[in-house]
Amino acid sequence: MAPLAGEKRVSTALVAIVMIVATAVIVRTKSASRSGRNDENIEAAVMLKRYSYESVKKMTNSFAHVLGKGGFGTVYKGKLPDASGRDIALKILDGSKGNGEDFINELASMSRASHVNIVSLFGFCNEGSNRAIIYEFMPNGSLDKFISKTMSKKMDWKILYNIAVGVARGLEYLHNSCVSKIVHFDIKPQNILMDEDLCPKISDFGLAKLCKNKESVISLLDARGTIGYIAPEVFSKNFGGASHKSDVYSYGMVVLEMIGAKDMKRVGNSKSDNVSMYFPDWIYEDLERRETMKFFGDNIMEEEKKIVKKMVLVGLWCIQTNPSDRPPMRKVVEMLEGSLEALQGLTGLNTVVTVAETEVCRSRWLRFQTLLSILYDWYNV
């Protein structure tokens, strides 16, 4: 006997209800499972003290002293709730942004790192949507603020040089000596903090990737980093694969910014005609004219000239378009700490230009090779 039309409608409605309920249960189970995994990942990744949100409020005196704001939250000054009463910085992450991946990345990365040039982590809070990372307080703020202050008065090249060396050592540690190899992917002056002795420390590991020690190329779902410091291969695979060499590029841009190359007021003093051009390009042009030192004025001492020249050379080598043409951070440290003989290690670069490389890469690379002889002469002037 054929079912009545009314019975068909009831049967269809029941099936639809069952499907909706089943879907809701699956989604809820996956969400709970994901949340549980995040909690497990945090606990497995870090051996740090976990604080309640109420404790975080007390440490910051109800978030009274703002140190700064970033894309993923606000940083406050506070004190540890122990006998030491040590000054600390607490980054409160914006719960409305992201899915907690940056929080887990930062905890997992920083908890594995222990180095004089890496910010130390003291604890964290993960209570519902309230997330906080607690780390050492840096009284001299970030490198970008230090650069701004330095530009307004006589440059202390020895201090800038020591900062460049310190950041290079920190990156070399992350790439080669850390428990897990870490690529930061957001090296910029704002993420380099200065302690009371102006010792630089790398911070903000929200975009970092943990890698297997033998892993050379890193898979990225999307571009990450800050415009002006992102390596070409991070936003386009046409330039190669993202790797530790992506941090090298960012470091080179930071070094060139430290010597004042990005300060547009100074650019006008250069004889390169186009003020709006990409600033490493006019450094290249001034090098070819052997006029770069005019950029720094007449008050620079002989010993300071050597420091500046060394930093320019390292910066330019680090920002090569092709990742394989950039030095590893170990070589950067050797170059900065060594003499002219150490710099001559540049001749060990691969000078073979393959047909597969783009015309842009080829011309930039050959141009750099031509400049090497100029730089050697220039270094000894």
**Angle between helix 5-45 and 101-112 (nearest 10):** 20
Task: Give the tokens for residue 202.
Answer: 């790398």
Q: Is 77 assigned to a binding site?
A: no
**What is the distance between the alpha carbons of residues 284 and 372, in angstroms, rounded to a whole number?**
11
Count of other CB atoms within 10 angstroms of residue 252: 24
Neighbouring residues of 173: CB distance < 8 A, sequence distance ≥ 6: 113, 115, 117, 118
Q: Which residue has the tokens 């540049």?
A: 346
Judged by DSSP in three states, 299 sits in coil
**What is the distance between the alpha carbons of residues 235 and 225, in angstroms, rounded to a whole number?**
9
Whole-number CA gyration radius for the chain: 26
Furthest CA-CA distance within the chain: 105
**What is the distance between the alpha carbons of residues 309 and 185, in angstroms, rounded to a whole number?**
27
Q: Known catalytic residues?
A: 186
**What is the distance between the alpha carbons of residues 132 and 52, in angstroms, rounded to a whole number?**
10
**Angle between helix 143-151 and 244-258 (nearest 10):** 20
Task: Give the tokens for residue 236.
Answer: 């386009």
Q: Across-strand partners of 87?
A: 79
| 200-202 vs 121-127, strand pairing mode | unpaired
Q: Which residue has the tokens 């109420």?
A: 54
What residues are designated binding site?
91
What residues are designated binding site for ATP?
91
